[in-house]
Every structure is written in C-alpha cells, then in structure tokens.
Amino acid sequence: MSSTTALLNRIGASVSGLTLAELLTQHPDIARRTAQRLIAKLIESGQVTAQGEGRARRYFGAGPQIGTNTPAAGADGFPAFIPLSADSQDILAYIDQPPEARKPIGYQRDFMDAYRPNATWYLSESLRRQLHKMGRTADVNEPAGTYSRAILNRLLIDLSWASSHLEGNTYSRLDTRELIEHGKAARGKAAIETQMILNHKTAIELLVENIDSAEFNRYTLMNLHSALAENLLPNPADEGRIRQHAVDIGKSVYRPLSTPQQIEDALDTLLSKANQIRDPFEQSFFMMVHVPYLQPFADINKRTSRLASNLPLFRANLCPLTFLDVPEQAYSRAILGVYEMTRVELLRDLYVWAYERSTQEYLAIKQDLAEPDPLRLAWRDFIKQTIREVITHPELDPLSSIQRSVAELVPEQEQPDVQALIVEELRRLHEGVLARYGLRPSDYAAWKALHGH
C-alpha cells in the first residue's frame, strides 16, 4: 500500500478527524514533510478536507476509502449494526492495520494505577443511568441473587452457549440446551466443545449458588477460573492458579506481564479496586477490561472476565449480560483496543449494545416465568433436601416419602403445589444436576436400579 493510500485510509476511517501529529504517530515510517506534501495533494484532489489552523488543524475524509481493510469492507469487518462513537472508530482504524504495522507494547501499569474507584468512570453517569433503566427487574429490592435464581435454567443455556461461541465453539443453542438439561452431548462435536459448555454451566452455578458470599477476591476469581478451565488446559496444575510463565496473545502485538510476582501484585490491586466500585455496571465493565488485560491465568482469561462481569449484576438483581448475538470479530477487536492502546471506548460501545440485546431477550421471557417459580424459590432448600432424602433412601416409596415431608413442613394451602414441584424435579433428575442436591453418582445409580427413571 502506498503512503498516499495509507494516509487517506487512516483519515477516512476517523469520524472525528486527525491532526498531523496523530497521523505521524500512527505512521512513523512517513516523514513529516512527506506527509504534509501528500496531504496537500489529497486536499487539492478533493479526497480530504481540513478544519482549523496550526497544530489544531484536523483532516477529514471526503470520499470512500480505497484499497482498505476497514470495517465497511467485507464480512470480517466490525459489524455496521453496532453503533460506534468517534473514539471507537479511531481505535478500529488502528487495530485493523496488520500486526506488523502496529507498535509492540507491554503491560502499562499506569492504566490500572490511574483508575480511582468511584472517582474514575469508564461508563459515564448518563450511560450508567441508561443501563440501570434497561436492566431493572421486578426483583430489584429482593435479596441478592433472587432474579438470577429465578431465571437460572434459561441463564445456564444462554450464557454458556454465547460465551463458548465467542471462543469458536460450534454447539448450537439447541445442542447446548440438550446438553445442559438432559446431559446429552451433541453428535459429531469434539469433546473439548462439550467440556467447554459444561464448564460454563458449573461456573455460572458456582456464582449463583454463592451469591451471598461471592465478592471479587482471589477465592472467587480462582475458583471461577478453575471451573471454566477443568480438563481444558495442557497442564491441569494451571486450573485456578496464577500464571507461572509468559504468554503470547494471538494476532496481537501486546505482551502481558511475565513474572509471577508482578502478576500477583497486579491482581491484588485489580481485585482491591474492583471491590471498592459501588455501581454494579461500572464494576462489571471494570472486570471485563482488566482481567483480560492482566492475563492472570495461563489461558481462559476472557471467559473468566465475562462470567465475573455478571457477578455485580446478579447481586443487584439486574438482567444478566449473556453476550447473545455478540459477533466474535467485534469482541476480539474491542479487546485488542484494550490490549494495544489501553483504550476502553470500543469495548464500552460493544458492552452497551450487548447489554441491550440481553435485556430485550430477558424482558421477553419475564412473562414466561410461570407462577411456580417464586414458590420454587421460597421452598428451594426444602425441595433439595426432600429430593436428597428420597434418593439416599431407595428402599422407601418415593411418593410416600415426598407426601410425608410435605405434610410435616408445608402449610396446607401450599402442599399440592410444592409436592408437584418436587415430583417434577425428581422426574427431571439426571447425573448432570446431582451436585445441586449433594448427591453422588453412586447414590443415583442405586436409586435408579430400584425405581427406574
């Protein structure tokens, strides 16, 4: 690509225009005088316009770009249906250059150091207001985690599928549902894909089950990573453990920290700052930015950040961020903007768009949350205990055991509905949900041998 074409494409890709200094920073191979001469010719030919004087003079594209690899050009570009700010367009213009044209860069400590919880904001006040309005549910004043527990079955499928899809997993949403609800692996899929989905399910359940005690500390993050990483890393010792070696980021010129002690120190700072953030959306987005940027684990950092970003939303009974319909090429570019430029605008625009998609999906299913759900929530522990008692005493008649337990502890008017819920759960029981009831596969096998299923 000629210097003229390179400058023209760069100027054309920027909505807010570029100064000569900004152009020269992005094209260090072009001499200042050469750049001035080429821009003058582009202005003369009507392909570029200029506004302002002296150093503040900004150049704007006046027509279509030529020979370009920017978003408008082809299926691999950033999707046009996701609205972007001028700042995000600038990030894209840089990231869409080939790697050899981008400047190699290491971990920038001041990116984290400059962030002051509740004083620095990645999401503006108006944006946070908009997100709260979009994500508000009827359970907003209920105990932490009420909403995520009520929609758990649907959440497990959507978030497991969408987050895995961003990693190239080829399971369909229907395949994912079959696997999560009935334990059936899809035919023709690699074992690694099945494992990835099941790991997501385990990790989401870990967050929802421990919502009262889960906060951003090492225990939560490491166990979240361990659940997501189970059976997927070359070295199983890396599951839930701070990275012990250097890593390269594919298709990126970013080089994360490589010394374990530096990673440990930076992680402590990250978690300390995250815990101080009061707004759930700011806290959520902070984790989406800084966990992948630090790369505290040998792999599976982005997955860990996507699930961690949901914890503040679960706690506040807000709609979850499921990443449904988020295109992989949009997400990977937005993360590259963080890695290589320590800029969050592109990821922020994607986050807002993705959250709106998620809330539309969940607002649509809110009316599908049938009346038994609040009842299941109210009697959740009792239902689990009863199922456990039934399975661990296979010599007893299941229905009689259920009726006896219900008669002892449930008010008369609620007995028929609670009993129906327990029978329904017992009928749906399979090996993929045994841990929920504190059961082992051997318990279930012994019961099944006597009662069938």
pLDDT tens digits, 212-251 = 888 999 999 999 999 999 999 999 999 999 999 999 998 8
Note the Cα 127 to chain centre separation in Å: 19
Angle separating helix axes 152-165 and 301-308, nearest 10 degrees: 150
Find the length of the chain: 453
pLDDT at 70: 36
Go through the domains of the chain in sequence order and give each one's CATH number.
1-67 (1.10.10.10), 105-366 (1.10.3290.10), 372-451 (no CATH)
The 3-state secondary structure of 35-102 reads HHHHHHHHHHCCCEEEECCHHHCEEEECCCCCCCCCCCCCCCCCCCCCCCCHHHHHHHHHHCCCHHHC
Residue 189: how many other CB atoms lie within 10 Å: 16
Residue 64: how many CB atoms within 10 A of its CB? 11
Residues 6+ apart with CB under 8 A from 333: 78, 92, 95, 96, 346
| % of the chain surpassing 90 pLDDT | 65
172: left (phi over 0), alpha (psi -120 to 50) or beta: beta
Whether the per-residue pLDDT at 363 is higher than 80: the answer is no
pLDDT at 68: 36
Short-list 272, 271, 311, 310, CA closest to 291: 271
Angstrom distance (rounded) from CA 336 to CA 250: 10
- 207, 208, 209, 210: CA torsion to nearest 10: 50
Amino acid at 99: P
Are 291 and 270 a contacting pair, CB within 8 Å?
Answer: yes
pLDDT of residue 233: 92
What CA–CA distance (Å, rounded) separates 416 from 61?
Answer: 70
60 in Cβ contact with 48 (< 8 Å): yes
Beta strands in 194-304 (DSSP E): 254-255
Calculate mean pLDDT across residues 178-189.
94
Q: Angle of helix 328-341 relative to helix 86-95, nearest 10 degrees?
A: 90
| pLDDT greater than 70 at residue 117 | yes
107 in Cβ contact with 256 (< 8 Å): yes
State the pLDDT at residue 361: 82
Helix (H, G, I), strand (E, B) or coil at 370: coil
Q: What is the pLDDT of residues 2-30, one digit of tens each?
A: 788 888 888 877 767 788 888 887 788 88
> Could you give the CA distance from residue 325 to residue 243 in angstroms, rounded to a whole number?
31
Summary mean pLDDT of the chain: 89
Which residue bears the tokens 């070295």? 235
What pLDDT score does 64 carry?
A: 43
Q: Hunting for tokens 């008692």 — which residue is that?
A: 389
Q: Which residue type is seen at 223?
A: N
> pLDDT, tens digit, for every residue of 77-99?
788 889 999 999 999 999 999 99
Q: Which residue has the higher pLDDT, 1 or 284?
A: 284
Put simply, whether the predicted model's pTM sits higher than 0.75 gets the answer no
Residues 359 and 319: their CA atoms lie apart, in Å, by: 6
- DSSP for 391-444 reads HH-TTS-HHHHHHHHHHHHS-GGGHHHHHHHHHHHHHH--GGGGGGGT--HHHH
- Rounded distance between C-alpha atoms, residue 193 and residue 250, angstroms: 20
Token couple for 8: 């023209």
Confidence of residue 453 (pLDDT cuts 50, 70, 90): low
How far apart are alpha carbons 435 and 46 in whole angstroms? 68
Q: Which of 120-129, 143-152, 376-385 has the highest mean pLDDT?
A: 120-129
